[in-house]
Amino acid sequence: MHKYYKQIKIMLKLSNFKIQGQDTFGEYYEGKVYPVSDKFRAKYRCIRSIIENNAIDDLKRNLEENKEVYPVKAVRMLPPISHGSRIFCVGLNYPKKYMLDSSMNERDEMILFSKELDSFVGSDCPIRVPTGPAGKSLDYEGELGIIIGKAGKDIKPEEVQSHIFGFTIVNDGSIRDWQKHSIFAGKNFECSSSCGPCILVNHEELRPETFLLTTKLNDHLVQKAKIETMIFKCEEIIAYMSTILTLKPGDVIATGSPEGSGMSQDPYRFLQDGDSLEIAISNIGVLRNNVVSFE
């Protein structure tokens, strides 16, 4: 048994990662990963299988029994998103300087869009600057991500907590020039976004509204905000989205990014080859990525 396990059981964190060319998953703790056994993965093929089968207790038992452990540097971290899971995003969900004199700060409508899994890389993996003109406006956006744990349609705000499996960190990478003519295009360039390093499994004592989000670009603080300053709160987002479609286990919802992205700088400060990006959220961890160009 991990000697720390009983002490931090209330803060269980799960990650996807690749070990010796094989995709697997397990626990994430203090720069190390603890994979589930091969036998366990044959029964529960991914984190979404754990969610769908309400198998957290089985997972904990397997982690206690399995002795394997690897430093994060010895594995390739993958986004903690299961194949087939949908990724939804909320736009303009924090007060912004250019919104202060606008009715946008008091709007009733929620802006939603979606992203594809191929646009994401894991923590400690490189974000790619697109080739050609698109590479001139790659932006970063640190966000709290919600992982849905229980299917639901027309979920009431007071019931939302029972539908949340956990929380993660999302960097909603954006090609700003492409957003002008197509939100989908601007948000879905391959390897332009990141997610991780883990999912913090939800429990009744967690208060995500108290979490602090910070983003550092080349060790310089560019974003800092309490999650509670979101315009639409987690309960409102999930309740509203569930009026549109049935939310499913494993779905990811990125809840929006506070002031401080590259487009809000004067002059604009978009990502470029050689940059380092660190997005931290209280209790979850730090999502780290270097930026590379292949031109």
Give the mean model confidence (pLDDT) for residues 102-113: 73
The confidence score (pLDDT) of residue 105 equals: 52
Provide the strand spans (E) within 227-266.
Answer: 252-254
The tokens describing 277, both together, are 């990006």
Same domain, 157 and 178: yes
Same domain, 170 and 266: yes
Same domain, 92 and 175: yes
* pTM attached to this predicted model: 0.94
Same domain, 34 and 74: yes
What is the rounded CA–CA span in Å between residue 188 and residue 186? 6
- For residue 178, count other CB atoms closer than 10 A to its CB: 20
End-to-end CA distance of the chain: give it in Å, rounded: 48
Q: 171 burial class (0-12, 13-18, 19+ CB within 10 angstroms)?
A: buried
Question: What confidence tens digit (pLDDT) does each residue in 225-245 have?
Answer: 999 999 999 999 999 999 999
Give me the domain span that covers residue 162: 87-293
What is the rounded CA–CA span in Å between residue 141 and residue 217? 11
What is the rounded CA–CA span in Å between residue 94 and residue 194? 20
The confidence score (pLDDT) of residue 236 equals: 97
Number of domains in the chain: 2
The CATH number that applies at residue 247 is 3.90.850.10
Same domain, 129 and 245: yes
